[in-house]
Amino acid sequence: MPALPPVSDALKRAFDPARFAEAAAEASEALSGHLERAQRKHATSSYPAPSPEQERAHWQNETSWMTGRKGMHDQVIARSNHLHDPRYMGHQVSAVLPEAATTGMVTDMLNNGQAIYEMGPSNAAQEDLLMSEIGEQLGLPLGCGGVLCHGGTLGNLVALMAAQRKVARDMGLDSWQDGVRAFPTPLVVLVSAKAHYCIDRAMRTMGWGGDGTVLVQTNEKHQMCVDDLQAQIKRVHDEGKRVLAVVGSSCTTSAGAYDPLEGLASACKEYGIWFHVDGAHGASAAFSDAHRHLVKGIEHADSVVLDFHKTCGIPALCTGVFYARHAESFLPFSQHAEYLWDDADDLDWWDTGKRTFECTKRMLSTRLAAIKAEFGWSIWAELVDRMWALGQALATLIEGRNGWELAMAPQANIVCFRPSPREHLREHLHADRWNEVVKTLRKRHLAEGSGYVVQTEFGGNVWLRCTLMNPLTEEADLVHMLDEFESLLPSVLKSMAVKNEADPRMEMEAKARRQGEEQN
C-alpha cells in the first residue's frame, strides 16, 4: 500500500486559522468602510458599473487578478451596485441589515448543507421552529409550518406542486409516479394578469404548457377582479378542466398592487380550490400594524411564499414557503433515497430534503435565527413602515410636480411614474413615441445621474419605476432624483425631435396623424 503523502505547505497555508482571522478582519474593515461611504453618498453614483463590454474587459485584464484576495475584494466592492447608498432605488433586493451579513460568514464557514438532520442539526431544528413561528406572524393558523428555499421562483413552484399533489390525492391519483398523465382532465392555475411571470413558468415546468395559466382581469389599480375570477372558474369548469390553484399577488412586482385576498379566499372556499399567495415582495406587510390590512385574507391561504431577502433585510437568497397545515409541507415530493433516510414516507421534520426541491442548501434558517436573537421580529415592522412611507412620500412629491404623473397611487414601496406626455409633447414629437422618450431618459439618468432607477411597462406604456429598499433614504434623496430626471428631460426631448426631423418618413407620419386628429 503506497504511503499517504504529507499535507502540502499550500494546503496548510490555505487552512491556517491565523490567516483566516487576518482575512476576516480585512473583509470586515473593507465592508465597514464601504457601508460608511455608501451611507454618506461618497461615490458619484450608487450605480458605478460601466457597460457590460467594459466590465468584461476589466476582468479579462490579467492585472485585475494579481492583487490578491484583499485587492479582489476592493475591486468587487468598488464596482458593484451600492444598495446601502440612499440613492439606490432600483430592483427588489434588500439593503441588508449589516449585522445579518456577519451570520453569512459563520454559516459559510460551518457549511452544514442540510438535507438530513445529521448534516445540519442546528439549522434543521431552527428551520422547523421558526417557519411555524413566522407563519403565525403572517396570520396563518396554529399548526402551520414550512420550509426555506433559494428564491421566490422556486418557492412558488414548490407550493404549486403541493397543490397539485393535493388535487391528485383527493382524486385517488398518484401524480408523483404518473405525472400529469395521471389526471383525466387538464389542470390550470388562475392568476392576475399582472402577476409575476414565475407562476406561468412553474405551470410550464410542471408539464401543463402555456394553457396551464389562465389570466384574470385586473382593475385600474392592477388588482385582481373577484367577479372575473368567479367567471373564469366557471368557464374553466365548463371546458372540462380543473382549477389547480388560485394565486393572489401580495404584491405585484411591476407596480406593487395587492390583490383582494379575502375575496379570492372566499371564491376558493366556495369551490374547494387551493389558495396560494405569492407574497414574495409584500407579504411582509403582515408584520406591521399600520399595513397589515393590505394582506387581509392571507390567514385563509393554504400556502404563502415570502422572500426574506426583499423587504426583511436578509441577504439573498432566502425564501419561505409556508403552509397552513404543517403536514402539507411534505406534499410536493416523495423520493426514495435510501442512503439518506430510512423511509421517505415518514413525516420526519428534521430531514428537510423530504420537503424541498434542493438536496443540499445553505444554512438559511440561521439567518432568521440571528434576526430573532439580535433584533426580534419587530425590526421587520420597522423596515416595512419606513419603506412603505418612502413610497407615499415619493408619490406626494410627484403629484406636486408640474409635468409629471403617477401610474397609480402606490400601496407599497414601489412607485411608477413618468414625465407627462400631455405637458411635454412638441410639434415634431408625437405621443406614440413617448415610450422611447421614457426609455431614453432612463438610460441618460443611468449614465449621468447619481442614483439607480429602473423601468417597467404595462398598458402599452413605459414607466420609470422606483423601489424604495433602503430605509435610510430621505426625502431630499427623492427630490434630488426627480430633479436629475427633470434636468435631463429637455435635452432628451430635443434629441428626439431632431431625430424625427432627420427622418422624412417619421415627419410625414407625424403630420398625417396630426391632420387626422384635427379632422376628428
- Which pLDDT score is estimated for 152? 94
pLDDT in tens, 353-371: 888 888 889 999 999 999 9
Q: Is the pLDDT of residue 508 over 70?
A: no
Q: Which amino acid, residue 453?
A: V
pLDDT tens, position by position, 208-249:
999 999 999 999 999 999 999 999 999 999 999 999 999 999
Give whole-number Cα distances, 474 to 72, 381, 445, in Å: 32, 18, 19
Q: What pLDDT does residue 64 have?
A: 84
User: Quick one: average pLDDT of 383-394?
Assistant: 98
Distance CA(339)–CA(356), nearest Å, equals 17
One-character DSSP codes across 148-179: EES-HHHHHHHHHHHHHHHHHHHTT--HHHHG
Each residue of 137-157: pLDDT tens digit? 999 999 999 999 999 999 999
Q: Which residue has the cell 397552513?
A: 324
- Exposure letters 104-130 (e unless 16+ CB within 10 A, then b): beebeeeebebbbbebbebbbebbbbb
Cis peptide before 312 (omega within 30 of 0): no
- 399-442 pLDDT, tens digit per residue, is 999 999 999 999 999 999 999 998 877 655 676 789 999 999 99
User: Taking the CA atoms of the chain, what radius of gyration do you get in angstroms?
Assistant: 26
| Beta pairing class for 303-307 and 319-323 | antiparallel
Domains contained in the chain, CATH given: 37-97+377-520 (3.90.1150.170), 113-374 (3.40.640.10)
Q: What is the mean pLDDT of residues 386-401?
A: 98
Instruction: Provide the angle, in degrees to the nearest 10, between the axes of the packed helices 364-374 and 98-110.
Output: 140
